[in-house]
Structure 1
Amino acid sequence: MRIVMMGTGPFAVPTFEALIESDHEVVCLFTQPLRPTRGKRPAPPTPMRDVATKHGLPIYDPESINTDDARAILREQEADLLVVCDYGQILSNESLALAKLGGINLHGSILPKYRGAAPVNWAVYNGDEETGVTVIHMTPKLDGGPCLKVVRTPIEPTETAVELEPRLALLGVPAVLESIALLEENGGESLVGEPQDPSLVSKAPRLKKTDADIDWTMSAQQIYNQFRAFQPWPGCYTHLSRGDKPPLRLILAEISLLSTPADASVKPGCIAAATADQLQIAANGGRIVVHKLQPAGKKVMEAAEFVRGYQPKVGDAFLSESQL
């Protein structure tokens, strides 16, 4: 089967490599254009481009796959199937029609749950105990086609999105290969797969910087889930109130969850312990233990170093941006 791969992010790499090594013919890669960086920031990695270059495959990066020029390039490939994963663009009916069997998409959730750009992050943020991957037969409606294959996996209690995503990417490889076999056997003569239940749809919108702001009225578990979900970006930050001084912005670089009995003497968001080797922040249903943090304009430091240098006291409050 002649396959056009469409992908940009690292989630797509294991599937791309597996397709290249399979009996199918991968003819090219469509990916997002390279974006200029600001200042002296290094260019972001382009793992999909690296794989394509390694194997001598043509790379196409139109601003939109749905323009006449992009469709002309796609038409020239004479593809049997489009395989889409972590691409970043939605294909129109006209674009999908340029492959004999249309397209399939590998998505990092159990659809119809978490349709959108950041399914792995929002599953962790919401404290889900299970997630997975779904391969759908594509329609122009975002993640809305029938499901060809679903693979489930538990989310470990301390697992971050950074750790979970590559696990899901590997789970997707056999799911994609099996889905291609289903379509190949069917030959496009009829619809394949299970329709998605519209009543179960939930959204996984693209992450924003403001998602990193900690609301200390949430439970300790919710705050810990927020930290796990938003690594490495947008991370988690808060502000330490310092009396007459301006609040100090802090990025929490490494934390853990400590379950404790309710302690009415320390309000949520206030320091519960600040010793030579530990910084604990009270929260509903537990405490957040800070191991590493980064004051604004400074390097990441151990909590003990922060306590020695800034001398926070029990009862000092951490604030969200809405409280400043």
Structure 2
Amino acid sequence: MKIVFAGTPEFAVPTLEMLLESPHDVCAVYTQPDRPAGRGWKLKPSPVKEVAQSRGVSVYQPVTLKDPEEQERLRSFKADLMVVVAYGLILPQPILEIPRLGCVNVHASLLPRWRGAAPIQRAILAGDETTGITIMKVEPRLDAGPMLHKKICRIAPLETAGELHDRLARLGAEALAEVLPAIEAGTVRLEVQDETQVTYAAKLEKHEARLDWNMPAVELERRVRAFNPWPVAETSYRGQTLRIWRAESLDEPASAEPGTLLERDRTLDVATGQGVLRLLEVQLPGGKRMSAQAFLNAHPVKLERLG
């Protein structure tokens, strides 16, 4: 098949690489325009663009696909299929009608659960034990198209959003590879999503990272995991912002007011609304990420409050 690929972040890279290694012809790659990044605020290409250029594939970066000229250019490729992975632009109906076999999307959840922008983080926040990949047909409504294929994976204890992201990125490539032959043969079976089971994964906001120590330790642990690597859970410590990269909940009663650092040998434990949260990796402003033990060596803990 002739395939147009549309994707932008690191999550999309394994699927693009799989297609480039396959017998199919990736005739064009669409990705978001370069964005300013880093201290110098220089324009930085997306991970998808870097891979495509390294393999000699033509890259297109329109600001919108509603422009008739952009639609005509896409039509000129005479593509059989368009594959979309975290592209970041809405595909208008005329675009969806251009490829002979339509457009399919690789989505990081088991639809209809967690439609939207942050399915990986919201699954961890909700305490889901499993997640996975759904390959679906793209429709104008957000992540609402009929499903072609699913692959399930368990969420490991203490697994962060970053770690789960990397596993699901690889799983997405595997899932698409499995269903491509049926798409090409026209034998794929479509399953309509159950609208009564829909949940939405809202975009993460930075203010969500501030921990409320009145919450149970189990929920605080999920927040630490879900917000790693962004926006990173945080609290205040002696007038500074303390970022918490890793933590685990302890099934024991809290013996002090929520937010109190407990005086214990070699562990950084915090009383919560229900249970104790053990901080495993933290970071102070201007410093490096460090283990709790390294933190305690430099900052002996007294019975004091966080937050």
Q: TM-score band, normalised by the shorter chain?
A: over 0.9
Q: CA deviation at 1:259?
A: 2.2
Equivalent residue, structure 2, for 1:226: 223
SS of alignment partner, residue 134 of structure 1: strand
- 1:286 aligned to which of 275, 284, 292: 275
Q: Is the 8 A contact 2:29 2:52 kept in 1?
A: yes
Among all aligned residue pairs of Structure 1 and Structure 2, give the percentage whose two residues are the same amino acid: 37
Moved more, 178-187 or 157-166: 178-187
Q: Is the 8 A contact 1:82 1:104 kept in 2?
A: yes
Q: Would the alpha carbon gap of residues 50 and 253 (structure 1) be closer, same or farther in structure 2, given more than 3 Å must change?
A: same
> How big is each residue's C-alpha offset from its partner over 1:236-265, in whole Å with a ceiling of 9 and x where there is no partner?
10113x5xxxx32211133233221x23x4
Q: Is the 8 A contact 1:273 1:281 kept in 2?
A: no
Q: Would the alpha carbon gap of residues 165 and 302 (structure 1) be closer, same or farther in structure 2, given more than 3 Å must change?
A: closer
Q: Would the alpha carbon gap of residues 204 and 64 (structure 1) be closer, same or farther in structure 2, given more than 3 Å must change?
A: same
* Cα RMSD for the two superposed structures: 2.1
Moved more, 11-20 or 99-108: 11-20
Could you state the TM-score of these two structures normalised by the residue count of structure 1? 0.88
* Structure 2 residue identity aligned to 1:256: E
Q: Is the 8 A contact 1:268 1:281 kept in 2?
A: yes
1:318 and 2:306 equivalent? yes
Q: Would the alpha carbon gap of residues 45 and 207 (structure 1) be closer, same or farther in structure 2, given more than 3 Å must change?
A: farther
1:215 and 2:212 equivalent? yes
Q: CA deviation at 1:126?
A: 1.2
1:271 and 2:257 equivalent? no
Equivalent residue, structure 1, for 2:194: 197
* Structure 2 residue identity aligned to 1:254: R
Q: CA deviation at 1:44?
A: 5.5
> How big is each residue's C-alpha offset from its partner over 1:211-241, in whole Å with a ceiling of 9 and x where there is no partner?
211111211111111111111110110113x
1:168 and 1:292 mapped to 2: Cα distance?
24
Q: Would the alpha carbon gap of residues 208 and 45 (structure 1) be closer, same or farther in structure 2, given more than 3 Å must change?
A: farther
2:281 and 2:155 mapped to 1: Cα distance?
24
> How many residue pairs get matched?
307
1:300 and 2:297 equivalent? no
2:143 and 2:290 mapped to 1: Cα distance?
42
Q: CA deviation at 1:110?
A: 0.2
1:127 and 1:42 mapped to 2: Cα distance?
38
1:295 and 1:161 mapped to 2: Cα distance?
21
SS of alignment partner, residue 288 of structure 1: strand
Q: Which runs of 5+ in 2 are unaligned?
A: none
Equivalent residue, structure 2, for 1:71: 71
Equivalent residue, structure 2, for 1:258: 250
Q: Would the alpha carbon gap of residues 43 and 223 (structure 1) be closer, same or farther in structure 2, given more than 3 Å must change?
A: farther
Q: CA deviation at 1:192?
A: 4.1
Moved more, 49-58 or 25-34: 49-58
Q: CA deviation at 1:307?
A: 4.0
Q: Would the alpha carbon gap of residues 55 and 298 (structure 1) be closer, same or farther in structure 2, given more than 3 Å must change?
A: closer
Q: CA deviation at 1:142?
A: 1.0
Q: Would the alpha carbon gap of residues 19 and 90 (structure 1) be closer, same or farther in structure 2, given more than 3 Å must change?
A: same
Q: Would the alpha carbon gap of residues 131 and 75 (structure 1) be closer, same or farther in structure 2, given more than 3 Å must change?
A: same
Q: Would the alpha carbon gap of residues 96 and 51 (structure 1) be closer, same or farther in structure 2, given more than 3 Å must change?
A: same
Could you state the TM-score of these two structures normalised by the residue count of structure 2? 0.92
Q: CA deviation at 1:298?
A: 3.7
SS of alignment partner, residue 280 of structure 1: strand
SS of alignment partner, residue 290 of structure 1: strand
